[in-house]
Amino acid sequence: MNRSKHTGRACPLLTRTGLVAAFLATAGVVAVHQSAHADGPVHCWGRNYEGQCDVPADLGPCSNVAGGYLHSIALRSDGTVRCWGRGTVNTGDGGEFGQSIVPADLGSCVSIAGGYWHSLAVQASGLVRCWGRNDYGQCNVPADLGPCSILAAGVLHTIALRNDGVEDPCRKD
């Protein structure tokens, strides 16, 4: 496990030798667990209301996984993003909200996250992209945000760690 050079605290989700990522999405009685190892296969289990546990057979090796309310997201080893589960159509009428529709122009990415009805990614350039339902501005990326490295999503909000030239305290050289 990597430790911050500055605080000495453990940073369990950031490793260079292999991704040690697990995501537990809970909302009421819904629970999904996903895991992957660096450039490895994705495994998903738990309550499968909307196909969020049905890992696509052609997904291939992945370097990161994330989950939203009823959808799953994977960052493939080639930098492309795949989503599955609820939100495979974008009706905009209170039905499904498009959080599983990856934008066609997304390009290569380095980080992903999933919120309640939205998904997000950091592109290789560091720019943040969000898609899906946007009732509370959770997909309105600030114009002056600048390049970022890490994302997180709450139920109705999004968080990004900017790249301001400050060394990542969890990075192990």
Mean pLDDT in consecutive groups of 10 residues from the start of the chain, 173 residues: 43 32 30 54 92 94 93 96 89 70 96 95 97 93 93 94 66 51
Does the residue 114 lie in any domain?
Answer: yes
Secondary structure in 3-state letters for 49-101? CCCCCCCCCCCCCEEEEEECCCEEEEEECCCCEEEEECCCCECCCCCCECCCC
Does the residue 11 lie in any domain?
Answer: no
Q: How many CA atoms lie within 13 A of 154 on its CB side?
A: 8
Instruction: List Cα–Cα distances, 56 to 1, 41, 43, 76, 159, in angstroms.
Output: 30, 11, 10, 12, 28
* Residues of the domain holding 156: 21-162
The CATH number of whichever domain residue 106 belongs to comes to: 2.130.10.30
- Which pLDDT score, from 0 to 100, does residue 164 have? 81
Ramachandran category for residue 94: left, alpha or beta (phi over 0 → left; psi -120 to 50 → alpha): left
Edge-first strand order for the sheet with 71-76 is 62-67, 71-76, 81-85
Structural domain total, the chain: 1
CB 166, CB 158: distance < 8 Å: no
- Residue 86 token pair: 């609820």
- Which pLDDT score, from 0 to 100, does residue 81 have? 97
- Which pLDDT score, from 0 to 100, does residue 131 have? 94
Instruction: Compute how many other C-beta atoms are within 10 angstroms of the C-beta atom of residue 101.
Output: 16
- Which pLDDT score, from 0 to 100, does residue 35 have? 47
Does the residue 172 lie in any domain?
Answer: no
- Which pLDDT score, from 0 to 100, does residue 165 have? 57
Q: What is the CA radius of gyration of the chain?
A: 16
Does the residue 15 lie in any domain?
Answer: no
Does the residue 96 lie in any domain?
Answer: yes
- Which pLDDT score, from 0 to 100, does residue 90 have? 72
Does the residue 87 lie in any domain?
Answer: yes
- Which pLDDT score, from 0 to 100, does residue 18 have? 31
